[in-house]
Chains A and B, each alone.
Chain A
Amino acid sequence: MDRLQLPQTERSPLVDFDFDRQQLRLEGESYPEDAAAFFGPLIAALDRYLERLRAEPPASALIVDLRLAYFNSSSAKAFMNIFQRLEAAARDGIEVRVNWHYQTDDETMMEFGEDFREDFQAARFELCVFD
């Protein structure tokens, strides 16, 4: 699969899905005009990729890094969709690690991280503070 890369814009996050290195990165703010249109292709790619990993489990973990400053409720819904897929894959034996990066003192992003963390059992979900 070809690496999926989208540049960061004022309203949508940077997306870098490096399938060969097993890394997915999202960075920035997220309140696109149409969240379904923005996240749809990413979720479709994730589905194809997880299917591939299920067929040939990799030796190392799939690493997902999220570093978001703000997102709207439609984007939160999309993140939940992504997380549910990652947790399901982890339950099937694929090692998944999600790093939720948030800036010190950012109460909203910390709270979202704590909320999302409760949905993970099989996958590892870490809160990572940065300055």
Chain B
Amino acid sequence: MPIATQYFDVHQRMRDQGVIFSFVGYVSEGILFSLGEALKQKMRLEETDANVTKRVFSIFVEQVQNIIRYSAERLHADSGTPAEMSSGLITVGRDATHFFVVCGNIVGRSEGEDLRVRLDELVRMDPDTIKSYYREKLREPPEAGSRGASIGLIEIARRSTRPIEFGLTELDADRAFFCLKAYI
């Protein structure tokens, strides 16, 4: 297949799914910032309600920061500077009724199981329960080695206007691919 046809096909399939943008590869805080700016600009141009834009942006930031902090595929700078790049997938789009933000990355098996337990719990909560759970977690001292993710996941669930969806697929004995989809 000629390359233009090949990539137009990829392009077209994504557009059909309502994708606004999709990024696969190593993400850094710099990429998070630039994609976030592009997202806000796009939503402003389309005159999206300011509160909806904030919810989408907020979920986007928490999702991407989870990839940066927790992806099992990551690069560290040798110099010891805190530059961090982690591999993952980010897709933001819109279907007939909702915006959606999907993030995916490879996780270690035990981290994956840990995520499953936390998210199963969140999925079962109604909005008021999520809100009080958030308040409770905000008051707690940070968990050892957590870098803030527990509150980030609750924030995602809280800003979603529909229950979040997630999944894990096993890659080998030690690793799984994790993805999380939120709707606004």
Contacts and interface: CB of A to CB of B under 8 A. Distances in A.
Given A11-B33, A80-B138, A105 B51 contact: yes
Size bracket, chain A contacts: 20 to 34
A77 B62 contact: no
Interface string B114-154: 00000000000000000100010011001000001001101
Nearest to B149: A73
A70 interface: yes
Interface string A6-28: 00001100000000000000000
B62 A72 contact: yes
A100 to B, nearest CB: 15
A33 interface: yes
Interface in A56-85: 70, 72-74, 76-77, 80, 84
A36 to B, nearest CB: 9
Interface residue SS majority, chain B: helix
B55 A34 contact: no
A115 interface: yes
Contacts of A73: 62, 148, 151-152, 154-155
A108 B55 CA distance: 8
Given A33-B29, A72-B65, A77-B142, A108 B151 contact: no
Given A74-B152, A80-B138, A115-B135, 5 more contacts: A33-B29, A74-B151, A80-B139, A106-B54, A108-B58
21 contacts: A31-B61, A33-B82, A34-B82, A70-B57, A72-B58, A72-B61, A72-B62, A72-B65, A72-B155, A73-B151, A74-B65, A74-B152, A77-B148, A77-B151, A84-B139, A106-B54, A108-B54, A108-B159, A115-B131, A115-B135, A118-B135
